[in-house]
Structures are given as structure tokens and as C-alpha cells.
């Protein structure tokens, strides 16, 4: 499986993604939303992170690999990159380096289509190393990067909320604070 995210242009992104906004407050104003959070009683960060990784990987399958993320690696300065590499394990370091070195980066948007890359992006989010937005296309939902293991989720159609809430429960997560538009 390739560890390379496919860089796409901003125009390609805009043509494929409906649930998008520049400011999270606009997202809360315009779309049905909720917060994806851990629902278990285990205090272990690894256990919690594993629940999120499993959720995102199954959401990737549910969306038939049709996912776009934003990842601002193009804007990383050398000092920031060095700090990031210090805290990543070997596997994630290799993924990051490969994605910086092995492609022309057109924008901050990338197509993501496999579990290794989804797990990598989820770890960046849960560890608050990068705040990546994940855009699911087949079953439209946009999820912003984590804030203290709480992921804001946005839906255009309320029936999508039910699909993702059921998926969350399966992985010991819950969608809380639901606001319907």
C-alpha cells in the first residue's frame, strides 16, 4: 500500500467537497454538528487513540476510500519539521518524510485512500501534532482536527449523523452536543 498522499489542487478540492468552510464558527452556524468523543472508562491515552483510529479507518471503508484531508506540510519550516520528527515514531516519520520528498505539493489538500495513511493522520490529530480536517465524500461529513480528544463533526444531511453515530458507538465513542440545522 502506498504511503503517499495524492496532492490535489484547491479547485479539485472545491469541486469534490460540499461541506467546507474556513472558520469553524461558520461550520457550526451552517451545518448540523456534534462532537465525536471517547465514551469509555479507560484513562489510557493509547486505548482512547485506538478507538479513534478504528473509527476513522472504518469510516474510510464506509466511504469507499473517498476521503480528502487538509495537511499543511507545505508550510512547515525546518525548525517545525525537526520538532515534529522528534516526537513521531519511526513509521510515522517515514510517512511524513515520504510525503514531503516524493511529490509536488499542489496545495494543502490530499486524497487519502488507505488505512495506514488514515491511522497516521488520526495519530497526528489525537496527539495534537497537526490539526487536519478530514472530508468524507461518499457519506458526506467533515470532521475538524481534535481538541483534547474532541472532534467537531459537520453534516449537511441529518441522516448522515445517524450513520456516523452508530459507527462511533461501535468503537466506544459518542457524538455529543448534537445541533441539527
Lowest mean pLDDT among 43-47, 107-111, 146-150: 146-150
145: domain range? 6-179
Alpha carbon distances (Å) from 124 to 74, 83, 127: 16, 13, 5
Higher pLDDT, 75 or 82: 82
**Predicted pLDDT of residue 10:** 95
| Residue 48 in this model has a pLDDT that exceeds 80 | yes
pLDDT for 30 equals 96
Whole-number mean pLDDT of the chain?
A: 94
Q: Is residue 90 part of a domain?
A: yes
What's the mean pLDDT in 108-121?
95
Query: How many structural domains are present in the chain?
Result: 1
> For the sheet containing 141-143, what is the strand order?
6-8, 109-112, 67-70, 134-136, 141-143, 150-155, 32-38, 173-179
Q: Residue 4 CB: number of other CB atoms within 10 A?
A: 14
1 occurs within a structural domain? no
Amino acid at each position: 500500500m502506498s504511503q503517499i498522499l495524492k496532492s490535489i489542487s484547491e479547485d479539485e478540492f472545491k469541486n469534490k467537497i460540499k461541506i467546507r468552510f474556513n472558520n469553524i464558527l461558520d461550520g457550526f452556524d451552517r451545518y448540523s454538528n456534534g462532537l465525536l468523543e471517547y465514551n469509555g472508562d479507560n484513562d489510557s491515552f493509547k486505548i482512547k487513540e485506538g478507538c479513534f483510529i478504528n473509527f476513522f479507518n472504518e469510516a474510510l471503508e464506509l466511504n469507499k476510500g473517498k476521503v480528502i484531508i487538509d495537511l499543511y506540510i507545505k508550510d512547515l519550516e525546518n525548525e517545525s519539521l525537526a520538532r515534529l520528527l522528534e516526537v513521531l515514531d519511526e513509521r510515522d516519520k517515514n510517512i511524513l518524510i515520504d510525503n514531503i520528498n516524493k511529490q509536488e505539493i499542489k496545495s494543502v489538500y490530499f486524497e487519502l485512500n488507505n488505512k495506514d495513511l488514515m491511522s497516521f493522520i488520526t495519530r497526528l490529530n489525537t496527539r495534537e501534532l497537526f490539526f487536519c480536517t478530514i472530508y468524507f465524500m461518499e457519506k458526506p461529513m467533515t470532521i475538524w482536527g481534535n481538541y483534547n480528544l474532541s472532534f467537531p463533526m459537520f453534516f449537511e444531511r441529518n441522516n448522515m449523523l445517524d450513520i456516523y453515530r452508530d459507527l462511533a458507538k461501535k468503537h466506544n465513542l459518542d457524538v455529543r452536543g448534537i445541533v441539527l440545522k
